[in-house]
Amino acid sequence: MDTYKDLAPSNRPAKWIWKSWVYGLWAIVLACTATLDLHTIYDIYRVLPLGLAWGIPCVPLYSISKGWILSKPKTLLFEAKSLVVAFCMASVCAEASMAYSCRQKEYQCASRDLRARSFYLAVLYQFFRETSCDIRDIPEDTKEGLKTLPVKLGKQNTMLLLATVGILAESILTHGIDITTTGIVIKAPLIARTLLRVGMTMLAYWQALRFPRQNSWAWGSMSLLGLTPVLFAQAALRE
């Protein structure tokens, strides 16, 4: 919806295509909602207001030069924009599903520590994806005045930051780097797998960034498959 609103009317898809897509998605969401308990519904929908208002000028701000203006919520987050989106997406997907499973009597719930680490891995890989999209959108965000992390650091520095933070964060979350009361334990096999997962993820996004946002094959594939590595990272938590 955010991308659709940002497009010029002449570049938007036909209304019947757009409505069919949006109404179809809402039908699926509402049908699934009807099968869930109230706790899960709350977990899923608690970030919906932010999502709906994300690209709509609805936040009043006052400036000396322009007076009162309406700003989009996404413009107020600056460099933290992609991190906030990552937390919201992981909350809806990973946290809500784990909480739902833990409420089922026939399911043996994992420990709170394991669930927390699984959630933060989801945040990490969502952060990779959202920041990569921000790298792709540097020209548009610069024109719009959005001060995202890639706008500030540039493409190469942002990718380097993602790789560094990703390797360090995942190594800690999967206990490849295990910080204990007696010291720091390095587990080479786990770190090697982390390097492989994060490295392959960065390589995939680097290749996708060769294409403009209009390339539906490149970015559609990344939307569908970009979070696949997190499943292997979460599976490594039990080792």
pLDDT(158) > 90: yes
Q: Check: CB of residue 174 under 8 Å from CB of residue 194.
A: yes
CB-count exposure of residue 175 (10 Å: 0-12, 13-18, 19+) = middle
pLDDT digits (tens, 9 = 90+) for 218-235: 888 888 888 999 999 999
CA 187 to chain centre: 28
pLDDT digits (tens, 9 = 90+) for 144-153: 888 899 999 9
Higher-confidence residue of 47 and 13: namely 47
Q: Check: CB of residue 56 under 8 Å from CB of residue 76.
A: no
Largest CA distance in the chain: 63
Q: Can you tell me the distance from the alpha carbon of 186 to that of 181, in angstroms, rounded to the nearest whole number?
A: 14
Contacts of 218 (CB under 8 A, 6+ apart): 207, 208, 210, 211
